[in-house]
Structure 1
Amino acid sequence: MKRIALYHLETLMWIDRLGTFAAAAQRLNTTQPAVSARVREIEEQLGQSLFQRDGRRMVLNARGRRLVQACEPLRSGLERVLLEASDFAGATGAVRIGSGEIAAASCLPAFIQDIERDRPGVTMEVELDLTARLLQQLLSGMRDIVFLAGPVASPGIRTVPIGSVELVWAASPAVGAAGGFASPLPVWSLPDHSPIHHVTITSLDDHGIAARALHTCNNVRMLIEIVATGQGAAVLPETMVREHLLGGSLVEILPRPPHKVHFEAAIRTREREPVILDLFERAGRLTIDRSSILAPE
């Protein structure tokens, strides 16, 4: 009879977190039959069933949930002690990172460079998505750490601020030379779930401007291309248009809005994985590059 090993407990933890044997197998980089075998081994060793059938799925029963809740802190604590003893030199595994487009452009490259330098055994799987979906993926266990526009408030999520980004009213040089909003212009924005959309509406009201039309696009880089070709104006993140402004392909046509977009890194409140907690701590030391070119008078 095999003894209960750490990988048995890790398997139970991921089944509990992700909800299925198949998802746990994918996260552990193994097969579903291997996960099933581990479950059988621990049940045989304990002499107790840890799962019950729920429709077509197998879910942890009350005994199984108690075991996971009691053992998870012990397993992660031991792993962290061993990693800290080696200064995380042996840290391995795949960490699934989610990010919004603006956060990805503003802070993710520095974060990735830091991890590649100090944690070479850690594999990063990065995916860009909208904030609402990132939060859902984080809570469901499909993402380990996410970078998104805040503030985010949820009892299941722990966050740390990583800085803010200035916004600018940008248009093509031709639009600027024609007086900008001296004549009605179409305005482009991210969809209404984005904080930039709210800033756009508020700023137009503050300046008493009636846009000829308000269009939306869910991709900032596409917005930049649209505006740069003279198709109107948009409120855009300064960090993503800095080179365009310096190069002259975009110009600022109104004073910068006083509102900034704030960003946070987030993990689950229940997160116990030492490597993920280490990355989260490192994310908290990030600072978005807020140096900027001179705003128009």
Structure 2
Amino acid sequence: MTLKQLHTFYWVCRLGGFAAAAEHLHTTQSAVSMRIQDLERSLGVALFDRSQRSARLTAKGQELVKDAEQLITLATHIRHRIGDPQVLSGTVRLGVTEFVAVTWLPELVTAINKNYPSVVVELDVDLTLNQLQKLQSGDLDLAVLPGPIEQPGLTNVSLGSVEFAWMASPKLGVPRSRLTPRDLHDWPLLTLTRDSNLHRLLGTWFEENDATFRRVDVCNSIGVLAALTIAGLGVSFLPWQHFAHEVQAGRLQLLDLTPKLPDLEYFAVFEKRQTQPLSQTIAMLAQRHSTFGKAGERRGPAKAHVARSARPRRQPAERAERQVLQEDGLPELCGPGSCRSPPS
């Protein structure tokens, strides 16, 4: 019996099949079958009932699942705590949203390459909903998402918050005076897709303030959303520091809306069971290299509205290492793609 055999057995059980485990382990299905057969021979018992179309765990197999997970977790702990970081190796499948990808992701990947030269990073840029599904199915080891993601068995490490502000092109003619949600009825609203956390946040905000949209155009790319706003096609709620240079250049203007909306906090999310040795390590590295502001600390788009000038980006600050186990939820921000206008 070897750790590799137990590791393969664990992933067959976790992903529900030999083919899925083979894909996850970057090997062939025949290699997975051989490891399971060798494990069964070494134990002298059948772990899977192969009399049916799909292999199912026997009673002995069910008993082994928890023990196998504990052994893998212990091996992970030893490797992480005792081993030399320079010799850590393997593949980390990291999922991020588009906004993370265009801000501090390059700095994070550079830090991973420097600190763990034998680690290979597989990047996946997608919508938060899709990233969460991949994380739950075992297709991702770690995801950087707006949240927290309140699901059983997941750990959330705070990476800071993003401050958003209402913006529009000056040529749209939106008044610079203080506005309410009802005042936005006169202009089209540009926002992220309906299943995004931001879209739901705005919907709740308008509903609580007895306001309605005249027209809503949705898009699943925050970059395209900003381009549409600059073109004068509507008002939108954008991360103000990221587009501060557009305000300074006069292509966008900050709108003074009240009441204010909360910031969007981002988290590195991974499984608490820790069968992937690098997930927590990369999460802590992401915490140090994130350029998002400290959670709960507002950096002043309202002041920028008065000054009409861009502020320099805040340098990354040391984040308090905080891991929170949450239960049940599904937020989302953005991802790559094209825009669409829903039927009126």
TM-score normalised by the chain length of structure 2: 0.75
Distance change >3 Å, CA 192–CA 247, structure 1 → 2: same
Pick one of 286, 304, 318 that aligns with 1:295. Answer: 304
Matching residue of 2:88:
91
Query: How far apart, CA to CA, are the structure 1 residues paired with 2:9 and 2:272?
Result: 19
Q: Which deviates further from its counterpart, 120-129 or 69-78?
A: 69-78
Contact 1:244/1:250, CA 8 A, preserved across alignment: yes
Can you list the C-alpha shifts for 1:211-245, whole angstroms capped at 9, x where unaligned? 43122222211111111111111011224423323
Contact 2:153 2:273 in 1 (8 A): yes
> 2:237 aligned to 220, 228, 235, which one?
235
Aligned to 1:62: 59
Identity of counterpart residues, as a percentage?
31
In structure 2, distance between residues paired with 1:54 and 1:262? 49
Relative contact order, CA 8 A, sep 6+: which one is greater?
Answer: 2
Residues of 2 paired with 1:207 and 1:175: CA distance? 23
Structure 1 residue aligned with 2:175: 179
Matching residue of 1:81 = 78
Match of 2:167 in 1: 170
114-123 or 69-78: bigger deviation: 69-78
- Per the TM alignment, residue 107 of structure 1 is displaced from its structure 2 partner at its CA by 4.3
1:145–1:265 Cα contact (<8 Å) kept: yes
Candidates 25, 30, 34, aligned match of 2:27 = 30
Write out per-residue CA displacement over residues 86-141 of structure 1, whole angstroms, 9 at most, x where no aligned residue: 42222111111122223433443333222122112111111122222222221221
Look up the equivalent residue of 2:131 and give its one-letter code: L
Partner of 2:216: 214
Higher helix share: 1
Give the aligned residue type for 1:89: Q
Structure 1: unaligned runs, 5 residues or longer: none
User: Structure 1's 88 and 215: CA in aligned 2 closer, same or farther, altered over 3 A?
Assistant: same
TM-score computed with the length of structure 1 as normaliser? 0.86
Aligned residue identity for 1:185:
W
Which residue of the partner structure matches residue 259 of structure 1? 262
Aligned equivalents of 2:115 and 2:2: distance in 1? 29
Cα drift, residue 55 of structure 1: 5.0
Instruction: Give the aligned length.
Output: 293
* 8 A Cα contact 2:95 2:143, kept in partner: yes
Contact 1:162 1:263 in 2 (8 A): yes
Of the three residues 225, 228, 235, the one matched with 2:227 is 225
State whether structure 2 residue 111 is matched by structure 1 residue 102: no
Alignment root-mean-square deviation, CA:
2.8
